[in-house]
Chain A
Amino acid sequence: MSFAGDIVTIVSVSAGAFFFLAGTVGLLRFPDTLTRLHALTKADTLGLGFVVLGLLPQAASLRDGLKLISIWLLALLAGATVSQLIARSARQSGSVR
């Protein structure tokens, strides 16, 4: 059980790290605000989601697991909302067409 859990952890956290890396590269390389936001929010949601998924087998109790999941849900909510707000203000200020 613990061996299978460790495998899940290693695979999921690695996948999460990959999405964070990809998101960061996108943030640095993409040409304008909207595409950069796209890269960033994908890193947040998918990357953090995989990291949380990977940490779940290591959680000591059900309570800790639920805390991890609620952190991910709150980050999802904040990320989605803030990216909408940034995109809107970028459009209104005329920096994107």
Chain B
Amino acid sequence: MSIATVFEIVLAAVVLGLALWTIAVRETYSATVGFVAYGLLVSLIWVRLDAVDVALTEAAIGGGLGGVVLLGAAARLRATETTTAESRMVRLGAAILSAATAAALAVAILLLPDPAPTLAPAAVANASATSLANPVTNVLMAFRGMDTMLEKVVLLLAIVGVWSLASDQAWGGRPGPRHEADPNGVLAFLARLLPPAGIVIGIYILWTGADHPGGAFQGGAVLASMWLLVIMAGLADTPAASSRPLRLVLIAGPGLFLLVGLGGLCFGSAFLAYPIAFAKPLILGVEIAMLLTIAATLALLLAGAPERSMQR
């Protein structure tokens, strides 16, 4: 047994143990911490499977921004958390439902044909059509561009959902509390020092996504965390939800994607069909718009519902 196999077995065992612990532990806060560690370890598994694009996304969303959302939720729930257990019937029902779901998933995986049907060779064979060397970006932006466009629409719906939680007085106001931090403190220092490097890294991840693992989502997550850092250090405030420039940024990604898709309908062969000669510049343009949209959406999802009315 090679060292790599031993490492993989240990990794799988730790991930399974951590998953069980996350389910079994009582406090929401501990479960959240377990879930963040779980996300980071799962991204290691994706690296072992040579799916570096997925690993980057899992680390950024599952381990990073998703963890922050859950930590915020856990902090809000702490006051209402009860130490008394639910009734036996509720717990039994939840256990049966969870076990049935897990069993159904296990059966579905066992019933998959072996080898699984795959479009990977076709995706690699047609890579020259877009002059992008990263097959994942090819699939996301060209071969299955429709899915990616709808995914961005879902992000938009998510932010509409979060904003809908605002009270009537705060509607259209600034999301989240106003963060106050020592202007000469450590956090403000980091918020001044890190974003220049972070912005370069975010744009680099987008740019390198054409030929290597990376892309708009991973780069957008880095940009979002830089923006949140500046907001949390009190150096900047969240923009009002009613701000027109902000709303333009939020619809830029899906809007441009839709526009390019309709252009394909008019000038090309089908919806979202890129003319071969302009495939790369078009994809790059859509990705840049998506980078801005994703960064703004993720940061605002974390900032939460508008809490302060326009006057304050």
Residues of A at the B interface (CB closer than 8 Å) are 74, 77-78, 81, 84-85, 88
Contacts and interface: CB of A to CB of B under 8 A. Distances in A.
If over half of A's interface residues share one DSSP class (helix, strand or loop), that class is named, otherwise mixed; here it is helix
A85 B187 contact: yes
Contact of B194 (A77, A84, A85, A88): A77
B193 interface: yes
B207 to A, nearest CB: 14
A55 to B, nearest CB: 15
A10 B197 CA distance: 31
B197 A74 contact: yes
If over half of B's interface residues share one DSSP class (helix, strand or loop), that class is named, otherwise mixed; here it is helix
A81 B197 contact: no
B193 A84 contact: no
A77 B186 contact: no
What 8 pairs between A and B have smallest CB-CB spacing?
Answer: A84-B186, A81-B190, A81-B186, A85-B186, A85-B187, A77-B194, A77-B193, A74-B197
A85 B191 CA distance: 13
Contacts of A88: 186
Interface size class of B (residues with CB under 8 A): under 10
A84 B189 CA distance: 12
A10 to B, nearest CB: 13
A78 B190 CA distance: 8
A89 B168 CA distance: 34
A74 B186 CA distance: 15
A19 B197 CA distance: 28
Contacts of A77: 190, 193-194
A74 B193 CA distance: 11
A77 B189 CA distance: 11
Nearest to B194: A77
Interface in B176-191: 186-187, 189-190
Contacts of B194: 77
Contacts of B197: 74
Given A77-B193, A81-B189, 9 more contacts: A77-B190, A77-B194, A78-B190, A81-B186, A81-B190, A84-B186, A85-B186, A85-B187, A88-B186
Contacts of A78: 190
Contacts of B190: 77-78, 81
Interface string B162-202: 00000000000000000000000011011001100100000
Contacts of B193: 77
A97 to B, nearest CB: 21
Contacts of B186: 81, 84-85, 88
Nearest to B191: A81
Contacts of A85: 186-187
B26 to A, nearest CB: 21
Interface in B6-54: none
Contacts of A81: 186-187, 189-190
A10 B189 CA distance: 37
A88 B190 CA distance: 15
